[in-house]
Structure 1
Amino acid sequence: MRYAQGGGLTAERRRFRERIRYEAGERFGRGERTAVIAKDLRVSERSVERWRRAWREGGTAALASAGPPKLPKLSDGQFAELEKELALGPAVHGWEDQRWTLARIRALIAWKFSLDCSSAAVWRLLHRHGWSWQCPARRALERDEQAVGLWKKDVWPQAE
């Protein structure tokens, strides 16, 4: 299942689901049937069966939330530092153009914080902090169509 904020549930939503599991645990203690509990709590019977198994093996404590599935690799303070570096632009960090790519941000994180993470992890990190990908709305006025055509004809076939 995919979640709106790009990974995992919010803390509020985790607490809400934990309360539902605890309520199911109380009902397990009263001996209620799985189908009745599932219908009343508006969850699948399979989930209730899984919770019942955990409750039998570990009691009510086994129904507690395990927390977020994966903690971010960068702390909020480190991300604030990363944002400052991103604001300086790619040229300051040695790239010729002014485009931040996931690979470049990944390299910056590796250099600045000595952390190795995947491009997907970089995307999730940026998304979690409200960043999104950007695409130009129109072509640049300075674009030289003749030069682009020559490049496509001469250079592009050699790159393949």
Structure 2
Amino acid sequence: MPSEPLSVVSEAPVPPLTRPQLAEARRVRAVELFEQGRSDAEVARMVGIHPESVRRWKRMWEEGGAQALRRRPATGRPPKLDDAQVEAVRAALEQGAQAHGFEADLWTLERAGVVIERLTGVTLARASVWRLLTGRLGWSLQRPKRRAVERDDSEIARWVAQEWPRIKKGQ
């Protein structure tokens, strides 16, 4: 049987599913199997979940339909900063630390917290500033390279090319 040629479609890469999305996909698959009349043990084996979880899912499905097994929004305390405030913080932090009166253009959690408080009036703990920067803003930890201000790369290159071979010959 001749195979069809594969066509390459250039699309943006699809991000991997999150854990909640994977869990929901398992529950949806379980619903499909329930509707096919499969036994609880069979569904548990096919979905890769403990049979007790399958029995619980089946009860939920029988009482509320497939919608009862859909993901629900995360509960818990709402964030202290709304989306507009987070975008204002992003814009302010992207200006750099010196634009906000700090001597060096280096962000620390304390400095970011000060700017957040100035902008929004909300005081965040260091851990909350970290979660805001890494979670909602997508920033990552960056450490500055430790090198001398007086460093002269051209002089270093000259030394490596000329002086080092001369010294090495003398050994």
Relative to the length of structure 1, the TM-score reads 0.59
Tell me by how many angstroms 1:83 deviates.
2.4
Counterpart pick for 1:137 among 135, 145, 151: 145
Aligned partners of 2:125 and 2:55: how far apart in 1? 36
Superposed CA deviations along residues 103-128 of structure 1, whole A, max 9, x for unmatched, are 22223222212334443333233223
Count residues with an aligned counterpart.
133
Structure 1 gap ranges (5+): 144-160
* Partner Cα distance (2:150, 2:55) in 1: 64
CA distance 1:61–1:93, shift in 2 (3 Å): same
User: Does residue 89 of structure 1 match 2:78?
Assistant: no
Change (3 A) 1:130 1:24: same
Amino acid in the other structure paired with 1:138: R
Aligned-residue offset at 1:133: 1.0
Task: Give the distance between the partners of 1:20 and 1:132, measured in 2 at CA.
Answer: 32
Q: 1:122 to 1:33 in 2, by over 3 A?
A: farther
- Percent identity over the alignment? 35
Structure 1 match to 2:30: 24
Distance of aligned partners of 1:83 and 1:58 in 2 relative to their CA distance in 1, 3 Å threshold? same
Deviation string, structure 1 residues 12-35 (Cα, Å, up to 9, x no partner): x62x54343133235446664433
Shift of 1:36: 1.7
Q: Which range moves more in the overlay, 65-74 or 106-115?
A: 65-74
Larger Rg: 2
TM-score by length of 2: 0.56
Structure 2: 5+ residue stretches without partners = 1-14, 152-171
Cα distance change of structure 1 residues 94 and 63 upon mapping to structure 2, 3 Å threshold: same
